[in-house]
Amino acid sequence: MSKTVADHSKIVRISLVALLGLAVLGSALAVVYAKFQSRSLFAELQALRKVQDKMDVEWGQLQLEQSTWATHGRVESAARKRLGMVLPEPHQVVVVRP
């Protein structure tokens, strides 16, 4: 009877070691997968940051272009040339007071 108890105890220990081995293997695979995901996401983040930098540069250029097109002198020049507008004479100005 002691032999069967010893055999049973040995089987339990082997099963426990095998179970712990599988748990370690599963944990190792989870770490590898997490590291892979982390690197993939970091690479994507870097690519998106490059795109953001390019867009920031383009935004600055567009703001500069907009400010150039909207200067008072340019608007006045376009009004004179394209629309034939002129400043009114002093007698043509009417001041409206509330």
pTM of the model: 0.57
Count of domains for the chain:
1
How many Cα neighbours within 13 Å face the side chain of 15? 6
- Give percent of the chain above pLDDT 90: 73
> Which structural domain, as residue segments, surrounds residue 16?
2-85
Is the predicted pLDDT of residue 47 greater than 80, yes or no?
A: yes
Residue at 14: amino acid letter: I
52 within some domain: yes
Summarised one tens digit per residue, pLDDT across range 50-75 is 999 999 999 999 999 999 888 888 88
67 within some domain: yes
Residue 2: predicted pLDDT: 65
- Cβ atoms of residues 98 and 92 within 8 Å: no
As a whole number of Å, the end-to-end CA separation of the chain is 115
